[in-house]
Amino acid sequence: MAYLIDTDILIFSLKGDARAHRWMEANQNVPKFISVITYGELIYGARKSRHPEKNIATTNRIAELFPIIDINRGIIEVFGELKARLEAGGSRIADMDLMIAATAMYMDLSLVSNNTSHFGRIGDLDLADWAV
C-alpha cells in the first residue's frame, strides 16, 4: 500500500501535531505522494502567510520529500464520474477535494486526510486512519 497525503495532514505535521508525527514515523518506509492540488494549496498558504519566504522554502522541501502527482486524463475522468455521482445523490464536495480523491482512486493510493466528513462520502475511496 502507498499513500496520498492530503494538505491538512502536512499542515498538522508542520504545526507539531503528535498524531501526524507518529503516523509519519510508523509509515516512514511506505511510499507517500502528494497531489499537485495539495502542492498548490501549500503554495497559496505560504504566499498569504506572514512569512512567505520561509514558508515557500518549507513547501519546496515538502515537494522534495513527497513526489507530486500531476493531473492527467484518467484522474480527470474519475473526477467527472465522482462529481456526477455525488451530485446525483444530493451531495457535493469541493472540486479541489474531489480532484485529490480522484487522484488517490486513479493511482490506487490510500488517502491520508483528517477531512473524513467530506471524503467519507466517497464509498470506494480508501481512507487511511492516521490519527492512531
Distances in whole angstroms, Cα of residue 21 to Cα of each of 12, 37, 47: 9, 22, 25
Cell of 118: 467530506
How many domains does one find in the chain?
1
Whether 67 maps to a domain, the answer reads yes
Whether 104 maps to a domain, the answer reads yes
Whether 2 maps to a domain, the answer reads no
CATH number at 43 reads 3.40.50.1010
Whether 121 maps to a domain, the answer reads yes
Whether 28 maps to a domain, the answer reads yes
Q: What is the pLDDT of residues 78-95, one digit of tens each?
A: 999 999 999 999 999 999
Whether 1 maps to a domain, the answer reads no
Q: What is the pLDDT of residues 10-39, one digit of tens each?
A: 999 999 999 999 999 999 999 999 999 999
Domain span including residue 122: 7-128
Whether 93 maps to a domain, the answer reads yes
